[in-house]
């Protein structure tokens, strides 16, 4: 994945975006900038609109109102130019319980059309950074929660994306595995990848370069976590969330 360092830096900006899912208004007049090469957190409880927003970003949904603008090195580009460089890891991952880690990698190698001469290096690098090399023959159905999430991330990263969208990747994972997962994301960020992480864990907001707090599809606050806390005069993201929601 080292070749990605010299690849274009992509960004996404939403302006006045709204989206209704059946009778539910999932996203409400949302304006937010996902700057290139940064770690962004979508922070909010269940029902905040995080998954709907993720699906809008990846092109699975279209907004009812507003616009999504995409950029490469600061220049506007159509979504079609950006789409091959996007990897999306949904909350419910499509992994096969009876396939081993090695078999999953081989399957996604074929799915993404990774070149035969490139695949061995990329595969070994991913196994090394996730520390799953010793478990290659273990079926996905026998992995711990943290290992299962890492396998899903590896499969997404085989395509060497420049935009990585992760929907609640640490949900239900033990604290040690959560920490290891974030350490892995920091290593990826060093390559200039735009990473967007959706999470209901308020403490994870402070791990992001830019946090976007959502409640019922509305943007409550957006910015560098420490700056947001200082501006509001509170000590934690939980306190900031309660302050902005009036709870």
The candidate with the shortest Cα–Cα distance to 41, out of 219, 204, 245, 220, is 204
Q: What pLDDT score does 4 carry?
A: 45
Interval 150-172: pLDDT, tens: 999 999 899 889 999 999 998 88
Q: What pLDDT score does 9 carry?
A: 86
Decide: 195 and 189 in contact? Cβ < 8 Å: yes
Decide: 240 and 206 in contact? Cβ < 8 Å: no
Interval 209-233: pLDDT, tens: 999 999 999 999 999 999 999 999 9
Q: Please give the Cα distance from 87 to 30 (Å, whole number).
A: 23
Residue of 50 and 192 predicted with greater confidence? 50
Question: What average pLDDT does the segment 36-63 reach?
Answer: 94
Decide: 27 and 52 in contact? Cβ < 8 Å: yes
Give me the CATH topology for the region 2-245: Rossmann fold (3.40.50)
Q: Please give the Cα distance from 53 to 95 (Å, whole number).
A: 23
Kindly list the domain boundaries of the chain, sorted by start residue: 2-245
48-87 in b/e form (b: 16+ CB < 10 A) is bbbbbbbbbbbeebebeebebebbbeeeeeeeeebeebbb
Question: What average pLDDT does the segment 238-245 reach?
Answer: 93
Per the listing, tokens 């159509």 go with 78
Beta-ladder partners of 230 = none
Confidence of residue 61 (pLDDT cuts 50, 70, 90): very high
Q: What pLDDT score does 18 carry?
A: 98
């Amino acid at each position: 994945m080292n070749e990605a360092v010299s690849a274009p830096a992509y960004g996404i900006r939403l302006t006045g975006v709204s989206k209704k899912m059946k009778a539910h208004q999932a996203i409400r007049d949302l304006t937010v900038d996902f700057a290139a090469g940064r770690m962004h957190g979508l922070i909010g409880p269940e029902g905040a609109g995080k998954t709907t927003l993720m699906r809008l970003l990846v092109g699975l949904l279209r907004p009812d109102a507003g616009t999504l603008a995409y950029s490469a090195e600061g220049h506007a580009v159509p979504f079609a130019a950006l789409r091959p460089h996007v990897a999306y890891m949904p909350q419910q991952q499509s992994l096969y319980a009876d396939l081993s880690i090695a078999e999953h990698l081989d399957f996604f190698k074929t799915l993404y059309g990774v070149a035969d001469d490139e695949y061995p290096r990329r595969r070994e690098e991913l196994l090394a950074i996730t520390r799953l090399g010793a478990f290659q023959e273990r079926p996905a159905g026998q992995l711990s929660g943290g290992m299962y999430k890492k396998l899903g991330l590896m499969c997404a990263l085989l395509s060497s994306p420049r935009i990585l969208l992760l929907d609640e990747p640490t949900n239900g994972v033990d604290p040690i595995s959560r920490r290891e997962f974030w350490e892995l994301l920091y290593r990826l960020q060093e390559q200039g990848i735009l990473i967007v992480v959706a999470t209901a864990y308020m403490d994870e907001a402070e791990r992001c370069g830019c946090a976007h707090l959502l409640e019922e599809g509305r943007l409550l606050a957006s910015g560098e976590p420490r700056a947001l806390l200082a501006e509001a005069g509170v000590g934690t993201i939980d306190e900031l969330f309660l302050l902005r929601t009036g709870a």
